[in-house]
Amino acid sequence: MVDPHVVESAGIMTQIFDAHPWYMLGLVVLGFIGGTISGFIGSGGAFLMTPGMMNLGIPGVIAVSSNIAHKFGKAMMGSKKHSELGNVDKKLGFFLLITAAAGISLAVFVNKYFFDKMGKDGSDLYVSTFFVVVLSIIGSFMLKDALRSKREPGTGPSDTLLKMSRKFQLKPMIHFKTAKVDISLAALLVVGLATGYMAGTIGVGGFIGVPAMIYLFGVPTAIAAGTELFLAVFTGGWGTFNYALHGYVDLRLVLLLYVGSLPGIYFGVVGTKVVKELYIRMVTAVLILLCVISRLFAIPVNCKNLHLIDMSKDTIAMLEMGSKIFLFGSGLVATFLILFWTFRAKARERNPIEVSYSTSVE
């Protein structure tokens, strides 16, 4: 017997592609934005791409599952590039994978439950609420820390959580040569589980994995980003398999996202080597919070469609437009800044004499 909810989601997807041919270009652009940001901050860019697809009318569970499938191939490319630059600790990635796979399986079960019981708006409401609660906390902490580093030049990421975590470390301790850190096995298992659940719920696990590696484990930012992409190769494959079993992976979405993301991720990865770490952290934090605002605008619309609250059509239209503006506007600006910083740094590398002369004249 065919699952009626799978038929419903497939019908929604077909209507979107049939009625709006420009969606294809929109998805390619969304893929390029996500790919560039992914390579730059090591998060997979899904924190922007999942709500971006939802803003285009794609059900939350389909957006998450298709993004995970897309993330699998994109992570392979990003991980390879980071590995060439020496930014991947494979041993650390495999230890995190131990429980990340279980976290993804649990997240798929919960996501499917909401879609089965409440349909598209129920799935969107669950994904958006989880997104807002978790990422607002992470984004606020990262922005606060980045601003502290800006006020105090030369300081890296805050070591407050690192010092606290070392007081409660449980043996056995595992040494990671590339990252140059010793980490408790228990802490690795907990972070792996959280990363997997977050990846399976909203298509982005990097915002648990990357901050945890930086602030709890003391891993350098570039290595944390590269290791997260390495981990995403495996979590993406496992998540795709689990969601595909229920018919929630749309290959049309995946292929269109690839068209834009594969060239985008190259520029993002190169940017990590020529852009100051402080800029990377600030871009990450601001983008998270802007995407959180975008999802905040969308939540009342889902509640209205589920008959939980009452709103006028004008209010709904205003909220939907605000959600799109915050999401796509922030993504385009961030992508422009990343490309600008990257090309400017590369130009200075090619013409050091001209740059030096120009600077002295100014």
Query: What residue spans define the domains of the chain?
Result: 4-292+329-361
CB 38 within 8 A of CB 233: no
Token digits of residue 205 = 């696990």
Single pTM value for the model = 0.74
* Nearest Cα to Cα of residue 75 among 286, 269, 213, 230: 230
CA dist 269 and 246 (Å) reads 34
- Contact present, 239 and 199 (Cβ < 8 Å): yes
pLDDT digits (tens, 9 = 90+) for 173-213: 888 888 888 888 888 898 889 888 988 888 776 667 777 88
Alpha helices in the chain (DSSP H): 4-19, 22-41, 46-55, 60-84, 90-151, 160-167, 185-202, 206-211, 221-245, 251-274, 277-305, 313-350, 352-361
**DSSP class of residue 3?**
-
Give the CA-trace dihedral at 71, 94, 288, 264, to 10 degrees.
-40
Question: Do residues 298 and 127 make contact, with C-beta atoms less than 8 angstroms apart?
Answer: no
Three-state secondary structure call for residue 306:
coil
Which of these, 110, 153, 137, 147, lies nearest to 282 by C-alpha position?
A: 147
**Can you tell me whether residue 183 is helix, strand or coil?**
strand
Residue 205: closest CA among 49, 100, 88: 100
221 in Cβ contact with 214 (< 8 Å): yes
Give the tens place of pLDDT for each residue, 304-339. 989 898 888 899 999 989 998 888 888 888 888 888
Judge contact between 296 and 55, C-beta under 8 A: no
**What's the CA gap between 45 and 35, in Å, rounded?**
6
Taking only the tens of pLDDT, the chain with its 362 residues reads 445 555 555 555 555 565 566 777 888 888 888 878 777 765 556 678 888 888 888 888 888 888 888 777 767 766 777 777 788 888 988 899 889 989 999 998 998 888 888 888 888 899 889 889 988 888 888 788 778 777 776 555 656 666 666 666 777 888 888 888 888 888 889 888 988 898 888 877 666 777 788 877 888 877 887 888 888 888 888 888 888 888 888 888 888 888 888 788 777 777 767 777 777 777 778 888 888 898 899 999 989 989 898 888 899 999 989 998 888 888 888 888 888 877 887 777 776 554 444 443 33
